[in-house]
Amino acid sequence: MKKILLIEDDPDLNHNIKEALQAEGWQVNTVFDGLLAEKMLLKSKYDCLILDINLPGKNGYDICKDFRQFDAGTPVIMLTAFDELEDKVKGFDCGADDYLTKPFYMRELILRINSLIKRTENLHKLPRNEPVIKASDILINTDLKKVTRQGVEINLTPREYQILLRLLEAKGELVAKKALIKEIWGTAFDANTNTIEVYINFLRKKIDKPFGKNSIRTKVGYGYYFESD
């Protein structure tokens, strides 16, 4: 049975989401306060987190950011009443995997949870012939999920890591935007979203900019590729 932690301070929405998820056969723990949620995350392991941004005690951004310090893999879906790009960018930068703007359909939330959990499980099953992948001056240790460039370790969120790994495994070949979205987020994710552009921008700021490189390239209208020196 999948175990979900729902962190939402609106009692009606909290109740409605819990009922919908329990109808799917999932175990749902609910909490209304950010500080209490943080304590629960330290004590228990969950298959997915549903996290509101505006919470008493501690906001969703800070909860997610601190959670990623000790858990890089559990999917996090953020909920917000604001459909602003800046809010989404901030959420993704804190380590969120997906974003839903209120109001939303419960079926959409369920599809996204299923997609993220399945994706996470599949990543753990993927065989790797070599524990280290090298491209240019970048090394990825796939066992440790560790990325270095020029000997400097780079901290990436789980989705940033997955995108970079996919680009490096392509060995300079173009990876289509729609294919990348499907592989990372699954079929429930909107292929027309600008989320992938946001993540590519994050990657460039961490992987390329500090090292004076321009390795992650865009072929407008098609997708992305990694260009080695």
Q: Which has the minimum average pLDDT: 15-19, 23-27, 176-180, 221-225?
A: 176-180
Report domain 3-125's class: alpha beta
Q: Are 152 and 166 in contact (CB under 8 A)?
A: no
Same fold across 3-125 and 132-226: no
Q: Report d(CA 229, CA 216) in Å as an integer.
A: 11
CATH of domain 132-226: 1.10.10.10
- Over residues 130-152, the mean pLDDT reads 87
- Would the CA dihedral through 37, 40, 42, 47 be positive or negative? negative
For residue 121 the two structure tokens come to 């499980």
Domain ranges of the chain: 3-125, 132-226
**What amino acid occupies position 229?**
D
Give 103-144 as a DSSP string: S--HHHHHHHHHHHHHHHHHHHH---S-SEEEETTEEEETTT
Residue pLDDT, tens place only, 72-124: 789 999 998 877 777 777 888 888 888 899 999 999 999 999 988 888 777 66
* pTM for this predicted structure: 0.67
